[in-house]
Structure 1
Amino acid sequence: MRGNLLKIEKQPLDNHQIKLTVEVESKQLEASKRRAARKLSRQAKIPGFRPGKAPYEVVVRHFGEEAVLEEALDMLVDEIYPKVLDEAEIKPGAPGILESVESVDPPRFIFTVPLEPEVDLGDYRAVRVPYDYRAPGDEEVEKSLEDLRRMYATTKTVERPIQEGDFVLLSIQVEKAKTKEGEEALIAENDNFAVYVAPEEKEKEDEWPFKGFARQLIGLKPEEEKTLSYTYPKDHSAEELRGQKVRIAIKVKAVRGVETPPLDDEFARMIGAENLDDLRQRVRTNLENEARARYDDEYTSIALEKIKAGATIKYPPQLVEHEMEHMMEDIRERLAAQNMELETYLKMREMDEKTFLEEEVKPAAIQRLEEGLLLETLARAENIQVTPAELEQAVQQTLNALQEDPNVDLQSIARGGRKARQEFSNAIITQTASQLLLHHTLKRVRQIASGEVDEEQTKAGTGEEEASEEKKPAPKKSKKKAASPKSAKGKSSQKKTTSGKEQEKA
């Protein structure tokens, strides 16, 4: 390419992309046509010639001028694209697209290049959010201790009246209160229907035969019978029951009461504490850790939104599409873990894929993309780094956790050879480093918003930024779009031809 001139016209677009009109010297296309002819002659047998040895004119007659021109344009675009980016001083944020070949004499190409994302944080250090965390009180601690007692509770058959918290075995029969002539009255019956009498605040919306049914049993004794009347709402989920008035005949067959262990030192030792005071302190510590983590998550989200509101974030649409692809992969994997396909999931939600993508996936992808760009820029601005010591410790903790994970076969990875082990190690290190960097950055967001960060603290890691500025874009490989090779050709006698060619970043 040395000595060959490029004429480049730049036209910025509104969606953080740039349109490039690139004109090259005709001699470059002629040279590309010669190389294209040699390549084609190596790919197919031409009678009378060894592969790659047929003269140019013979190759043109054998394959056709359009085929040679098509291949030559592809080769020329692959050759000039990295230099175009370099001379135009453009840092691409995603693969560029060859929109068209405007002419072949002289060769003139139209590219659309997505630009590298740009984030201006604004005066992010001025963002303030009151930090008003309150630790759980004694009431929450005692409630958690009661929950622990219930976890270790036992049940036994009792002869007393039913109380809240009991398990009850019933014989139940549900019939329509009124029927037409010839219409069957019975809706459902069960001779061994188990019911848990939950506290009122824990009643389930889908309780059968209706919400609040179990609490209607309180006070009944074993072998006692009762008939209830109930009218289903007109918007009930079961169409056949909407507005239906029913009679529910029940008979209590057995009542099992719940016995919780006493809250004492013996109970505390049973679950691993030294005594009741030690158990109470452990419960309090766990509650405080969980409450602090929840509050910090909410606080960080609010602080990030305020920083984002004062920032300017620019990115090309291709990055949103890329994020959407990742999210769809994640969704499909999660559904597959539940033995469900995406089509089935969407059918259950009465939604087509296009609507799902536009209304749910795309907004979430935009939010995730912008938040990621914001945090990445914050980490650089605040010079946040991961030390080798903490990375080593975190990697070891991750490996220890994987050894306990029944879904991870480390022995199989070890038997996979040196390459497999190296790839696994690199993946663990990269993922762990990313998680640590994210953790430190989110912590810094909280420190900034709460005013903890010293205003004189150095903000920028200029050494890293300058190093990154010096990196040049690598040449890109070309990849065809959906059009077939012939459909992307242009007649050599015409001045204008179109092509749809994506240029991939190396």
Structure 2
Amino acid sequence: MTHPPKIEREKSGRIECTVSFTKEQTASAEQKALRELAEKVKIPGFRPGKAPQDMVMQKIDQADLLEETIHHLLPETLESLVREHNIQTIISPKISLKQRDPLTLSIVFVERPKVTLKGADKIKIEKKAPKVEDKDVDRMAEFILRKHETTQEVERPAQEKDRLTIDFSGTDAEGKEITPIRTQGHTVTLGSKSLIPGFEDALMGLKKGDQKAFTLTFPKDYHAKELSDKPVTFSVNVSKVEEVHIPELTDAFVKEQLHVDSAESFRKELRQSMVAQEEHIERQRREQALMDAICTATVVDFPAELVEDEERALLQDMEAQLQRQQRTFDDWMKATGKKPEDLHKELSERAKQRLALRLGIRELLEVKQIAVTDAEMDEAVSGLLSPLSEQERKNVEGAYRKGEQAYEQLKWQKRVEKLFEGMLG
């Protein structure tokens, strides 16, 4: 380097290093880059890497040569900067070209920003007692009983609680068929209110083989906007009417079908299960409320590079999720109607929230001195690996040795669990 690097440190943790290289350093790196690129250049009459340098230079893109030259200069430069200036970066450094002659680079590191917690010691998350009433148990019991229901086809007119199998189509006010409405073999239980208001009422009294036409107006808040608040004339054909028999909750039924001693015991177990579910939901609600409170209490100045790095991670997660759903990112953008600038703004906000939460939690762990012992980690690793087969354990147990990345991630998770347990009570 012709001069000592210019180092600019910001309170946000952003460190910009401006580095200039001597002509000798640049020339040496350029020669290495040229030799590598020459191996990829095809020149008639010469084997790869054996053509004269001036001929190779004519074939090589100068932008590629510059990029490779910088690539050769970076390792030693980065190592020197980190060592000599005690830089503890938390993301990969960002490199940009400032000047070509002399070759001058801007290298931006980001250290962990200074975090201030305002009011974190006063965070209180209200705990609500689980509330399961008799009517809730009745509703769940009926849901379970319906899984054991039986049906019998009848020739009489349809009445409340009967199940009908119907074919139907619909036309608009001008008499033109609305193709998406046409449905074959649809089953509906009268009184279930699963169809738009008035539809099930219109089916009352119909028998197998009956046909009926009637006009209904779709609700204003109907999910398909092209149909909301629009009149549609339906043509319905009834192909089957069935009487539905739901078993009664008796001791004999629960013993035979549910393997429980009595109807009373079944209701008791059902209530306990519902209470446990309510407690789980309440715990999740309180954890989310706690995370929101930590975000609010975390005051931090984010360097742009850190936010951009987090945005990229969010975008990669999104693309991976879409790929699992066999959808493309472009398809998703079209389906949601989002503009690139809207998505960028949304991702930027989410990135800042994730960073605030992560940095806030880290600060709380240090302030509260939350630690996990080796014995606790041994138990956690054992609990994680024990359900696996012998071969599966062999494949992954190395990753959970002390000091390995998976081990440290699990340790972080256990520390966070301790923190949340202490703050939620």
Normalization by structure 2: what TM-score? 0.74
Distance 2:289 2:417 in 1: 12
The CA deviation at 1:83 is 2.3
The CA deviation at 1:263 is 0.9
The CA deviation at 1:143 is 1.6
Q: Deviations over 1:296-341 (max 9, x none)?
A: 1111222222232222234433333333333333333333333322
Asked if 1 retains the 8 angstrom alpha-carbon contact of 2:12 and 2:300, the reply is no
Q: Which runs of 5+ in 2 are unaligned?
A: 40-48
Match of 1:364 in 2: 350
1:81 aligns with 2:78: yes
- Of 168, 175, 190 in structure 1, the residue corresponding to residue 164 of structure 2 is 168
Match of 2:188 in 1: 196
Which deviates more, 375-384 or 145-154? Answer: 375-384
The CA deviation at 1:295 is 1.0
Match of 1:460 in 2: none
Structure number with greater CO (CA < 8 Å, separation at least 6) is 1
1:214 aligns with 2:200: yes
Amino acid at match of 1:281: K
Amino acid at match of 2:329: L
Match of 2:46 in 1: none
Asked if 1 retains the 8 angstrom alpha-carbon contact of 2:11 and 2:113, the reply is no
Asked if 2 retains the 8 angstrom alpha-carbon contact of 1:33 and 1:71, the reply is no
Distance 2:117 2:407 in 1: 26
Matches within 5 A, 1:446-457: 446-448=421-423, 450=424, 452=425
Asked if 2 retains the 8 angstrom alpha-carbon contact of 1:169 and 1:193, the reply is yes
Match of 2:260 in 1: 273
1:127 aligns with 2:114: no
Amino acid at match of 1:267: F
**Could you say what secondary structure the match of 1:7 adopts?**
coil
- The total of aligned residue pairs comes to 402
Distance 2:314 2:395 in 1: 27
Amino acid at match of 2:188: Y
The CA deviation at 1:144 is 1.2
Distance 1:359 1:39 in 2: 39
Question: Against the structure 1 CA distance between its residues 34 and 268, is the aligned structure 2 distance closer, same or farther, given a 3 Å change threshold?
Answer: same
Amino acid at match of 1:116: R
Asked if 1 retains the 8 angstrom alpha-carbon contact of 2:370 and 2:418, the reply is no
Match of 1:17 in 2: 14
Distance 1:446 1:357 in 2: 35
- Of 146, 154, 161 in structure 2, the residue corresponding to residue 158 of structure 1 is 154
Asked if 2 retains the 8 angstrom alpha-carbon contact of 1:195 and 1:214, the reply is no
Matches within 5 A, 1:302-451: 302-352=289-339, 354-355=340-341, 357-381=343-367, 382-385=369-372, 386-397=376-387, 399=388, 422=395, 426=399, 434=409, 437-438=412-413, 441-442=416-417, 444-448=419-423, 450=424
The CA deviation at 1:432 is 8.0
Asked if 2 retains the 8 angstrom alpha-carbon contact of 1:226 and 1:251, the reply is yes
Q: Deviations over 1:127-184 (max 9, x none)?
A: 222222324233222221111111222222134543444321346464566x6xxxx6
The CA deviation at 1:291 is 1.0
Amino acid at match of 2:253: F
Asked if 2 retains the 8 angstrom alpha-carbon contact of 1:60 and 1:68, the reply is no
Distance 1:248 1:272 in 2: 46
Match of 1:91 in 2: 88
The CA deviation at 1:281 is 2.9
Question: Against the structure 1 CA distance between its residues 437 and 219, is the aligned structure 2 distance closer, same or farther, given a 3 Å change threshold?
Answer: farther
1:292 aligns with 2:279: yes
- Of 257, 262, 270 in structure 1, the residue corresponding to residue 248 of structure 2 is 262
Question: Against the structure 1 CA distance between its residues 243 and 135, is the aligned structure 2 distance closer, same or farther, given a 3 Å change threshold?
Answer: closer
Asked if 2 retains the 8 angstrom alpha-carbon contact of 1:92 and 1:116, the reply is yes
**Could you say what secondary structure the match of 1:194 adopts?**
strand
Normalization by structure 1: what TM-score? 0.64
Q: Deviations over 1:172-224 (max 9, x none)?
A: 464566x6xxxx66667979643313656x53xxx4xx554124323445555
Asked if 2 retains the 8 angstrom alpha-carbon contact of 1:154 and 1:258, the reply is yes
Match of 1:495 in 2: none
The CA deviation at 1:264 is 2.0
Which deviates more, 388-397 or 359-368? Answer: 359-368
**Could you say what secondary structure the match of 2:4 adopts?**
strand
Distance 1:12 1:195 in 2: 69
Distance 1:72 1:249 in 2: 74
Which deviates more, 212-221 or 383-392? Answer: 212-221
Distance 1:13 1:84 in 2: 16
Match of 2:43 in 1: none
- Of 107, 110, 131 in structure 2, the residue corresponding to residue 111 of structure 1 is 107
Amino acid at match of 2:271: R
Distance 2:86 2:405 in 1: 30
Amino acid at match of 1:94: I
Asked if 2 retains the 8 angstrom alpha-carbon contact of 1:165 and 1:199, the reply is yes
Question: Against the structure 1 CA distance between its residues 100 and 167, is the aligned structure 2 distance closer, same or farther, given a 3 Å change threshold?
Answer: same
The CA deviation at 1:93 is 2.3
